[in-house]
Amino acid sequence: MIAVSVAAGFLMILADRGQAADRDDGAKLAAMCTSCHRLDGGDGSIPTILGMSPEMLTRAMLAYRSRERPSHIMRAVTLSLSDEEIVIVARYLAALNKQVRP
Amino acid sequence: MKSWTRREFGRSTGAMVLAGLGPRLAASESKARVVVVGGGIGGATAAKYLAASARTIEITLVEPNPNYTTCFFSNLYLAGLCSLESLTHGYKTLAQRYGINVIHDSVAAVDPVAKTVGLKSGPKLPYDRVVVAPGIAFNYGALAGYDEAATQVIPHAWNAGLQTQLLRRQLESMEDGGVFVLVAPPNPFRCPPAPYERASLVAYYFKQHKPRSRILILDAKDSFNAQDLFLDAWERHYRGMIEWLPAQFTGGIKAIDVKERSVKTASETFKAAVANVIPPQMAGQFAQQNGLVDQSGWCPIDPITFESKLQPGIHVVGDASSAGDMPKSAFVANSQAKACAFAIAAALTGSERKSPHLFNTCYTFLSPDDAVSNAISFKPAAGTIKIVDNFVSQVQESAETRHRAAREAQSWYTAFTRDTFGYAAF
């Protein structure tokens, strides 16, 4: 529950950002994700990053960062992102998913 | 959202991520020109992400070969676990979906004054920026008796393709009980764990088909990357099959006798049934010939834009670059290429430049279902690139964790090659 409210809090951070800024920064950050995650829905043994809400994605990344979810690869990735960047990329991927699967 | 799709990216969702990048400028504005030299991981990724991040840039990719065979995962091919075709990727998607002008030719020289890239076949391509990704070259002079002609008898197999095929054939025709001698290079070289992954997977092949055979690693170094993980795995999977001799034991590698198929060290001469000599390395030939290399043999770069410190307007990514703590790996080449593409796009279109996110992940196979990984993040600092975090698999991990890493590695290969070339071959 703490993680849920923390994630919701982070999402509030970006309330005032422009959509275009979000999209450009989100796409650049997502370029980091696509070195390992496919964006056509088929990921095999690597968990997919499509089909999640921005809250779920943010929560998942925070859980990797806090070691609540174990993965040394995702820990390195999430440690390198600021709270704000985690929210931006989560929002970007969630919006992308809406486009991909209406 | 309409403006995202002004350029025709097809239906790929991967392309849609990229189409979100970049300033939306009027199509009538004159196009800046970027020439990318070399279509390996660094070059292909740079071309693709440049195409996606600014529609006002015209991109030409110059690569002599029609296809690229990945060095990563080629040790699985040596072990008989995959085909070379499954590791081979073409440039069709980059040309058709991303509108990149792909030219199969060699580059003769860059003229930084006229700002042109001259092709072997004659034409000169004008540029605003050049991205150079020539990979590695071999310093043959460093090993007496081993030169380019010798690679037809004793392959290096450190560029995937015909060399890898030759080594596989030699392993296949080797008699049971033979010794496979692998000469490992001094630092720095392409893919630090790869010689030891190769020893592991060749040992796996021997165990299935030639169980009396042995592997001898003659190293130019006294220690190697992830040594504890390898030594543990060799004890568990291949007890008594792999022997590693550091430089301090042999006194160093002195010469290769191609006719005798033997390796001479300061202390003794080792005869091989099959030999694999991985020579000392330096930045690819193109970088050597175009003033991009310093006394280290590699290309010094700006840690944020990857612009050469020696030749303004020319950027160097991948194995050839001298990028601080970043190892020479395919993942690093891909990560650098994205940072470089975003920096060039920002410079040519006048948009805001952000500090890059730089990463490395390597999956390494110890056996087909026992793999380890590492994850490193980097950041530009004090004129170079420094490690921020570094996580590596642990020796005591469960078999299930290692199985999972091996399965992940396979999925990673597909995602990564799609990220680079736009599609996967399998």
- The predicted-structure confidence for B100-111, as pLDDT tens digits, reads as follows 999 999 999 999
- pLDDT, residue A67, reads 96
- pLDDT band at residue A3 under the 50/70/90 scheme: low
Give the chain B residue whose CA is nearest to the CA of A28. B21
The structure's pTM equals 0.92
pLDDT of residue B19: 55
Q: pLDDT category, A101, cuts 50, 70, 90?
A: very low
Closest by alpha carbon to A49, among A70, A33, A65?
A33
User: B43, exposed or middle or buried, with CB in 10 Å at 0-12, 13-18, 19+?
Assistant: buried
Give me the pLDDT at residue A2, please: 57
Please identify which residue in the block is written with the tokens 């490690």: B387
Q: pLDDT value at position A6?
A: 62
The rounded distance, in Å, linking the Cα atoms of A31 and A25 is 10
- Is the pLDDT reported for residue A85 higher than 50? yes
| Burial class of residue B225, CB neighbours in 10 A (0-12, 13-18, 19+) | buried
Q: Which residues contact B348 (CB under 8 A, 6 or more apart)?
A: B32, B34, B54, B56, B57, B128, B129
pLDDT above 90 as % of chain A: 54
The CA distance from B150 to B258, in Å, is: 6
Mean pLDDT, rounded, for B174-195: 98
Tell me which chain A residues have a C-beta less than 8 angstroms from the C-beta of B334. 35
CA B67 – CA B40 distance, rounded (Å): 9
CB-CB neighbors (< 8 A) of A79 in chain B? 377, 388-389
Q: What percent of chain B has pLDDT over 90?
A: 88
pLDDT at A14 over 80: no
Q: Test B335 with A45 for CB contact under 8 angstroms.
A: no
Pairing between β-strand B67-69 and β-strand B384-392 as defined by DSSP bridges: unpaired
Query: Which of B26-30, B254-258, B421-425 is predicted with the least confidence, judged by mean pLDDT?
Result: B26-30
Complex prediction ipTM? 0.89
Q: Is B14 on the interface with A (CB under 8 A)?
A: yes
Residues of A in contact with B354 (CB under 8 A): 25, 28
Region B233-254: mean pLDDT is 98
Q: Does B380 reach chain A within 8 Å, measured CB to CB?
A: no
Residues whose CB is less than 8 angstroms from the CB of residue B92 and which lie 6 or more positions away in sequence, other chains included = none
* Rounded Cα–Cα distance for residues A77 and B360 (Å): 10
Please list every residue in chain B whose beta carbon sits closer than 8 Å to the beta carbon of residue A18.
none
Distance CA(B253)–CA(B220), nearest Å, equals 7
Who contacts B34 (Cβ-Cβ below 8 Å, separation ≥6)? B50, B57, B58, B59, B60, B127, B128, B129, B130, B131, B344, B348
Q: How many CB atoms lie within 10 A of CB B173?
A: 10
The residues, any chain, with a CB within 8 Å of residue A9's CB and separated by 6 or more, are none
Integer-rounded Cα radius of gyration of chain B = 22
Task: Round the average pLDDT of chain B to a whole number and report it.
Answer: 93
Q: What is the pLDDT of residues B23-75, one digit of tens each?
A: 444 444 578 999 999 999 999 999 999 998 888 899 999 999 999 999 999 99
What pLDDT is stored for residue B16 in this prediction? 52
Among A72, A73, A96, the residue with its CB nearest the CB of B16 is A96
Burial of B222 from C-beta contacts in 10 A (0-12 / 13-18 / 19+): exposed
Chain B residues touching A46 at Cβ < 8 A: 408, 411-412, 415
Please tell me the predicted confidence (pLDDT) of residue B353: 81
Say yes or no for a CB contact (<8 Å) between B16 and A23: no
On whether the CB atoms of residues A63 and A4 are closer than 8 A, the answer is no
- Identify the three-state secondary structure at position B370: strand
pLDDT at B348 over 80: yes
Query: Which helix (H) or strand (E) covers residue A90, if one does?
Result: helix A83-100
Among chain A residues, the shortest Cα distance to B393 is held by A72
Give the residue-averaged pLDDT of B270-284.
98
Q: Which residue of B has its CA nearest to A97?
A: B13
pLDDT value for A99:
59
d(CA B304, CA B354): 9
Strand runs labelled E in B11-127: 32-37, 57-62, 67-69, 88-90, 101-103, 107-111, 116-119, 124-126
B338 at A interface, C-beta within 8 A: yes
**Contact assignment for B404 to A45 by CB distance below 8 Å:** yes
Write the pLDDT tens digit of every residue in A50-78. 888 999 999 999 999 999 999 999 999 99
Mutate to test the interface with B, among A17, A29, A36 (most CBs of B within 10 A): A36
pLDDT at B422: 86
Separation of alpha carbons B416 and A73, rounded Å: 15
Looking at residue B325, its pLDDT comes to 98
Alpha helices (H) in B299-359, listed in sequence order: 330-349
